Amino acid sequence: MKTLLSLLMLVISTSYLQSQTVAGDVYNEDYTIIDNETESYDLNDNNTNYAAKYSISKFDKKTKKQTFNVFLNIPDKSKDEQCYTTGNNKISTFVVGNDIQIIYDVFDKNAELKKCYIKTLGLKGSPLSEAKLLAEAPCKSRFSIANTNFRVIYSPDKSKFAVLVDNASKGIVVEPSITIYDSKNITTLSTKKLKSLYNGTKIQIDPYTNFKIDNAGNISLNFNTYTAEKNTIIKSYEGDIPFAENDIKNIKEAGASATLDNKGYQGKFYNSLEDFANNKPMGDLRIENASYDRAFGESYKIMDKNGDVKKVKISDFPTALYTYNGDELYRAFKKEAYRFLAVGNVCLYAHLETVGNGYDKDKLYWSQGGINGEIDKFKEGGLEELLEKANLLEAYNKDKPKREAKDDVNDFYNKEVSRYIKYINILNKKK
């Protein structure tokens, strides 16, 4: 499958939408780290889905200039690490004191492990710390990395964070665990080794529904029992783990879980960007990861609440907005699938099949007038006209990327696309 840049580049700039998740810092997987009247800090992915390259940038809103852009060396290619921005690898950011904590996972293909690390970056742009290993789990290949969940949550006072490790693979048994850390010193306070069965049925902890840690280190969570054959939830339960305990206590049946399990049906439909931001999917339909089929009339495999799966053409989708391969946001338009690279009054898209190099510039698209605008092929000249009207053209021209000796076609092309995204986001942020 061909892809270009991931949703990790996304900076949503509508008046009601500040992050990709329910509450920004609570879920800490959106890519706006800090956003106030004077400055913004953003996490960026400056490369393709299958060759991630992350950085953190600061933008001064008074001078309208970027203060710094620090590359994080994630993944570390010298260690042969791999990282995929298709939702299979996660990266979280959270401000603790004068540092940005970056917790992320990569695939170590030599050791056949999926590893979770933490790094810190000072709010002034330095220092950038070395990576510290938090957790790891067996992973046979890059095709199975989506089976393992690493999920990070922070206490309200930021004194503690917890890392969940869970696995949905049929071939590898990984008992779920939760490790609680001291946020300031990044030292282990407690590790909970949990059972993978409840009443004889395999469970999976729901990483996004009611998964919280309080200031005292007590955990609340939901978990689902499910059928492995159809990937459907049998029942959802809720419970808690007191800080001094190692097992889930006070278990009782819960309402419908906000997510199905993580065995491949993660895509959801949304009526609006606001619903996407607030994690309010439409109905019970789920889209299977990596199920896109151009040969069958631009279709996906979709599962209903009963676990029944069928191919559905894009032209028959119940709504235009949907996620695919994790949290990547797409728009269905005239029977085609377009992935958002920037969202606001001006939107930038990549076609689902774009490969991401200089030979496919015609596969960038854009629209004006919000997310319902007509999608056309992107023209840099059109962007320059908008920038000139906003008195940003001079800054845009000075920011033209330079081709370095180490750059291949992909590297330089993605520098160009990153600049388009950067200045479209600046346009969208202007009042």
pLDDT per position as a tens digit, 239-267 = 999 999 999 999 998 754 444 444 455 78
Which pLDDT band holds residue 46 (cuts at 50, 70, 90)?
low
Question: Of 331 and 109, which is predicted with more confidence?
Answer: 331
Residues 6+ apart with CB under 8 A from 254: 210, 222, 236, 237, 238
* Structure token pair of residue 273: 């960007």
Q: What is the DSSP string of 305-359?
A: TTS-EEEEEGGG-SSSEEEETTTEEEEEETTEEEEEEEBSSEEEEEETT---SGG
Q: What is the pLDDT of residues 10-27, one digit of tens each?
A: 333 322 222 223 333 444
pLDDT of residue 407: 66
Q: What is the pTM of this model?
A: 0.60
* Contact by Cβ (8 Å): 302, 295: no
- Give strand ranges (E) for 130-284: 132-138, 148-154, 160-167, 177-182, 187-193, 197-198, 201-206, 212-213, 219-227, 232-241, 249-253, 265-267, 269-270
Mean pLDDT of the chain: 81
Which residue, 155, 168, 164, 254, is CA-closest to 203? 168
Q: What is the mean pLDDT of residues 208-214?
A: 88
So what's the pLDDT on residue 10?
36
pLDDT in tens, 361-402: 457 899 999 889 999 999 999 999 999 999 999 999 999 888
- The arrangement of strands across the sheet holding 346-351 comes to 269-270, 321-324, 328-333, 336-342, 346-351, 364-368, 376-377
The partner residues of 12 in beta bridges, in order of sequence, read 343
pLDDT at 88: 64
Q: Is the pLDDT of residue 101 over 50?
A: yes
